């Protein structure tokens, strides 16, 4: 594997995303993550998955530079749908997945974390969906999952301002389970994972399936619409301007087109 390394410790698979400097989520990273899930789902030695990022970030978001190579809106829609399907698979995964978040979980990084069953954060971590700052929108079900966790008013604030929240605030809002110092993040997350790993795999699988019944009835309709708009927004003039400005390290000039 190129972007992930996996170590098994007392029935816990510690999955480390290592794509310096920002652990950006490219299509190749997503495909490799899918491969990792395939392997771990079949492993009788693994009962719980613990996902974290190497270096300064959990994941600072999708790979914006890769977007310049996508030819049209239909391809963007396919990319969005692939990410949505992968994170939906994570949320329905028969083994618990815990995200240990430090540094930043932004854009696609937060969408990845929200696909996990639980999120443990460092107190000073930054979590947010800043896509509108680039003239874009989230594309991996972020518009739907964020609302479920923090409520519609706060989700609207986070989306429309692009302002991130701290790890401590994420706990208060219900987006994360608990916050610890960055120095203790992996230790405490692994402690939780090992506690859960002692439970029956059969009952854990059933519990996860039942938890997913709590989803709002319109979730999948919202996700489908999100994928379509993801393609349309990326190919708009403002979308292209936002990407160009990001790469050229300048402020974007949006025209509403």
Neighbours of 196 (CB within 10 A): 18
By DSSP bridging, strand 126-128 and strand 165-166 are antiparallel
Cβ atoms of 26 and 82 within 8 Å: the answer is no
| Residue 109 in tokens | 């990084």
Contact 113, 145 (CB under 8 A): no
Catalytic, 111? Answer yes
State the Cα–Cα distance between residues 189 and 49, nearest whole angstrom: 11
Catalytic residue, candidates 123, 131, 169, 226: 131
Q: How far apart are CA 131 and CA 109, in angstroms?
A: 12
Is 54 in the active site?
no
Neighbouring residues of 106: CB distance < 8 A, sequence distance ≥ 6: 59, 60, 61, 126, 127, 128, 129, 130, 164
* Structure tokens that stand for 138 in this block: 């989230």
Q: Which two tokens stand for residue 229?
A: 């708009």
* Residue showing tokens 């301002």: 161
Q: Point out the catalytic residue in the list 88, 111, 123, 226.
A: 111
Task: Report the alpha-carbon distance of residue 61 to residue 73 in Å, rounded.
Answer: 20
Active site residues: 111, 131
């Amino acid at each position: 594997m190129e972007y992930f390394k996996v170590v098994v410790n007392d029935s816990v698979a510690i999955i480390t995303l290592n794509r310096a400097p920002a652990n950006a989520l490219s299509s190749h990273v997503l495909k490799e993550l899918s491969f990792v899930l395939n392997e771990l789902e079949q492993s009788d030695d693994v009962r719980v998955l613990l996902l974290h990022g190497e270096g300064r970030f959990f994941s600072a978001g999708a790979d914006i530079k890769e977007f310049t190579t996508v030819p049209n809106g239909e391809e963007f829609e396919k990319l969005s749908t692939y990410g949505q399907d992968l994170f939906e698979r994570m949320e329905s995964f028969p083994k618990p997945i815990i995200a240990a978040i430090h540094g930043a979980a932004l854009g696609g990084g937060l969408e990845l974390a929200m696909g996990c069953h639980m999120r443990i954060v460092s107190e000073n971590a930054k979590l947010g969906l800043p896509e509108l700052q680039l003239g874009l929108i989230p594309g991996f079900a972020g518009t739907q999952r964020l609302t479920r966790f923090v409520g519609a008013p706060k989700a609207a604030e986070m989306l429309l301002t692009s302002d991130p929240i701290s790890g401590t605030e994420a706990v208060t809002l219900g987006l994360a389970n608990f916050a610890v110092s960055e120095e203790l993040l992996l230790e405490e997350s692994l402690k939780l994972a090992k506690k859960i790993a002692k439970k029956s795999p059969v009952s854990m699988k059933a519990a996860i399936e039942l938890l997913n019944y709590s989803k709002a009835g319109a979730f999948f309709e919202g996700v489908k619409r999100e994928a379509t708009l993801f393609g349309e927004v990326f190919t708009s003039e403002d979308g292209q301007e936002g990407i160009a400005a990001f790469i050229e390290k300048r402020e974007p000039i949006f025209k509403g087109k």
